[in-house]
Amino acid sequence: MQASPVRAERLKSISLLRGLLLRAGTETLVARDCPQQLMGAFVFARNAVVLCANNLKDDPERVWETLAHESAHVMQHCRREPIFESDRLGLDFLVAHRRSPDLFKAVGQYHPSQHRSEIEARIVQGLPAEEVMNLFRRACADRLL
């Protein structure tokens, strides 16, 4: 069975972003026993992104969104500061929230000190693939080998 052009393009984006993460020194690991609601995580102490295969169900769109989301946390780590300027964050949040209001409901479950980083990650996961990769290249430029 041949992959659809959209699926093939998404798989290519996943591969390219994983390559960028690796060039920046961040491993991408796959776990098969994550808690039910967890799609992925950035493990700061290990400098690794974990993708939860048991919850992503081999769905390239879900894998992409999770990888893009976790790459935002890697970008925040590279920069040691937020990804977006405060004035842009508000506008990006409004646009992203209108596009997918449910995506932001879970932010309230995090400690208030984590709200900004989680909002940024949700904005990033909704961006086009090329924009995510360009943002990553800028944020982690000094770590790219």
Q: CA 99 to CA 132: how far, in whole Å? A: 17
Q: CA 35 to CA 49: how far, in whole Å? A: 16
Containing 50, the helix (H) or strand (E) segment is strand 48-52
Question: If you search the block for the tokens 């919850």, which residue do you land on?
Answer: 55
Q: What is the pLDDT of residues 75-130, one digit of tens each?
A: 999 999 889 887 666 667 676 667 767 766 777 777 778 878 988 999 899 899 99
Q: CA 41 to CA 19: how far, in whole Å? A: 17
Q: What is the pLDDT of residues 38-81, one digit of tens each?
A: 999 999 999 999 999 999 998 999 999 999 999 999 999 999 98
pTM score = 0.87
Region class of 127: left (phi > 0), else alpha (psi between -120 and 50), else beta = beta
- 3 — pLDDT class (breaks 50, 70, 90): low
Give the model's pLDDT for residue 2.
Answer: 58
Give the model's pLDDT for residue 86.
Answer: 74
Sequence spans of domains, the chain:
5-140
For the chain, the average pLDDT equals 88
